[in-house]
Structure 1
Amino acid sequence: MTTDESVRTRGTVFDRDGALVADYRLGNRSGRPAALDLRLHRLPAEHAVPAILTALPGWVVSAREDTGAVLLAAGGRLLRHMHQYTRDLGPDLGDVTWAEPGIEVRAAASVASSRLYDTWLAAYPPEHPDGGDDVSPANLEGLYDGRTLGPLLGFSTVALDEGRVVGAVLVNDAELLGPWITEVFRDPDAKYAGLGGRLLRHTLGLALLDGLPSIGLAVTEGNPARAVYERLGFRPGESFMTVVLPGGEHR
């Protein structure tokens, strides 16, 4: 995950002739240096990738889908294939008053991040497209304290059933992305089916009351929640891949 400092730090890639090939935000993912939001300068991906492989061996690179596909073909390993969505906030949201019998909703900032972890872990088993090493207490704390992407916004919500966390929607103020939904999850028990979508819709209403004109999120390829977001009015934008490049001594 990135820190606030690394989000502001930019790196560049040049070819052997000294021509600028790409620039990126410097970060860290899974113990590896990371080139986040890598953007090419004029060259097509097929011509830029050799310089990227030479400059960043073993790095994690997040880039547009077309660039990511070329990195994969050059021996990279896919970590995540994601699709960005945005939702304009306006009267079309309708009545978003919370009216879920027996479920209490609180501001996320009033609930310790440690209380969310067991439900977060249950929502993302290893076979889930978003399961894996990123589902850890440290990364959840990073969303809460702003180290991962930016400050947690006040309309982030947590749902509780008799005091136990059963769902949450976390929204962070990302430096380059703006208000960004970083987590939407619920207890996988069938009795909570649909809770994530209802909680998200309620959170969108709180964001509208807070004066936000729009909000964004990213969804991993293969995640069934993608259909929920589209049903709630989110519109697709760019798609990105996160790829581990071959080479290097990183573990």
Structure 2
Amino acid sequence: MPLEIDLDVPTRHLLRADDGTALARLRLHDDDGERVAAEVSPLPGVDVGTVAAQARRDLAGARLETPHDELAHALVAGGLTLRRAATDMRHDLAVVPEPVALPTGWSLAPAGWDDDLAEGLPAAYGPTHPDGPWQPDDTAQIQAMFDRGDPVPPLLAASARVVGPDGRSAGHVLCAGPVPWTEDTCAWILNLAVAPAAQGRGLGRALLGHALRGSRAAGLPRLGLSVGCGNPARRMYDDAGFRPVSRVLTVPLPPAGHADEVTRSPVD
């Protein structure tokens, strides 16, 4: 049956069974044209298998995101694929690091997108990366942000490239903010990466520090990010003072009338 606004929490919708029983609470939004059912949380005492079955009918074609392992397990057990397991984190920006000295010949430069980043970042996101390999659409989305501000413009104060002695870009941090996909007002790190040939020099920490200082200078109260489970960068974020807020398990739901996916991924 159709989703309904939750009268108790107007920013949420209720997923109901065919007989009208409330099953789960969720937040609907669009992400670059993709329908997202975020924070899907079964109500107390409701069977997660029932929630999974109803979600597949009423949210067909959406990207389902849930903090609940049991719901993700039920969807995967039904033949769907876990696309990503991640942790959302926040930094309250009360204390941010001072700039650190970069190696000789290295510097931070204004944010932008160039051929060097288009070559280096796909190498950083190899086939075994916890967030999956770099896709051509990733490049297209970043270019659209700089060219058209679509779907959101970069937060230039918190974004930067790192440039080597040869004058070429070797990595970047790309932030936006405030962002529409969270209910709290915050800046967001969309991407932080350093090309493999430039790693091991502390450049990632320098970029992260820049993002923290720039977000505070822009007047935003928090900086958020999402880090894939198993990503070694998680330690850097912990050390910088980010705190975990929630776990996010992402399962794409097949469109109505389409054959179900059969590839399964474990929920770690």
After TM superposition, the score normalised by the length of structure 2 is: 0.75
* 1:56-106 deviation line (CA, Å, top 9, x unaligned): 345432222333233223332110001011112134x34225544211212
SS at match of 2:121: helix
Counterpart Cα distance in 1 of 2:217 and 2:62 = 41
The answer for unaligned runs of 5 or more in structure 1 is 1-9
1:6 maps to what in 2? none
2:204 is the alignment partner of 1:207: no
Counterpart Cα distance in 1 of 2:97 and 2:59 = 48
Counterpart Cα distance in 2 of 1:99 and 1:137 = 27
1:157 maps to what in 2? 160
2:91 is the alignment partner of 1:122: no
* Paired amino acid for 2:228: T
* Paired amino acid for 2:191: E
Residue 167 (structure 1) shift: 1.1
* 1:140-196 deviation line (CA, Å, top 9, x unaligned): 224444434x32102211111122111111111211423111111001125654211
In 2 relative to 1, CA 206–35 (structure 1 residues): closer, same or farther, beyond 3 Å?
closer
Counterpart Cα distance in 2 of 1:88 and 1:65 = 25
The answer for unaligned runs of 5 or more in structure 2 is 1-11, 262-268
Counterpart Cα distance in 1 of 2:232 and 2:68 = 20
In 2 relative to 1, CA 94–125 (structure 1 residues): closer, same or farther, beyond 3 Å?
closer
2:98 is the alignment partner of 1:95: yes
In 2 relative to 1, CA 169–194 (structure 1 residues): closer, same or farther, beyond 3 Å?
same
* Paired amino acid for 2:132: G
SS at match of 2:79: coil
Q: Is the 8 A contact 1:87 1:234 kept in 2?
A: yes
SS at match of 2:120: helix
SS at match of 1:159: strand
| Deviating 4+ runs (over 6 angstroms) | none
2:79 is the alignment partner of 1:82: no
Which of 175, 184, 187 pairs up with 2:180?
Answer: 175
SS at match of 1:95: coil
Q: Percent identity?
A: 28
In 2 relative to 1, CA 180–45 (structure 1 residues): closer, same or farther, beyond 3 Å?
farther
After TM superposition, the score normalised by the length of structure 1 is: 0.79
Matches within 5 A, 1:13-162: 13-21=15-23, 22-27=25-30, 34-40=35-41, 42=43, 44=46, 46=48, 47-57=50-60, 59-66=62-69, 67-91=71-95, 93-96=96-99, 99-108=102-111, 111-132=112-133, 134=135, 136-144=138-146, 145-148=148-151, 150-155=152-157, 156-161=159-164, 162=166
Residue 39 (structure 1) shift: 2.8
Counterpart Cα distance in 2 of 1:103 and 1:113 = 17
Q: Is the 8 A contact 1:143 1:172 kept in 2?
A: no
In 2 relative to 1, CA 121–115 (structure 1 residues): closer, same or farther, beyond 3 Å?
same
Counterpart Cα distance in 2 of 1:225 and 1:142 = 26
2:226 maps to what in 1? 218
Residue 53 (structure 1) shift: 1.8
Q: Is the 8 A contact 2:187 2:215 kept in 1?
A: no
In 2 relative to 1, CA 207–38 (structure 1 residues): closer, same or farther, beyond 3 Å?
closer
Greater strand content: 1
RMSD of aligned residue pairs (Cα, Å): 3.0
In 2 relative to 1, CA 45–80 (structure 1 residues): closer, same or farther, beyond 3 Å?
farther
Q: Is the 8 A contact 1:179 1:216 kept in 2?
A: yes
Q: Is the 8 A contact 1:113 1:140 kept in 2?
A: no
Residue 213 (structure 1) shift: 2.5
Q: Is the 8 A contact 1:169 1:181 kept in 2?
A: yes
Residue 224 (structure 1) shift: 0.7
Q: Is the 8 A contact 2:89 2:226 kept in 1?
A: yes
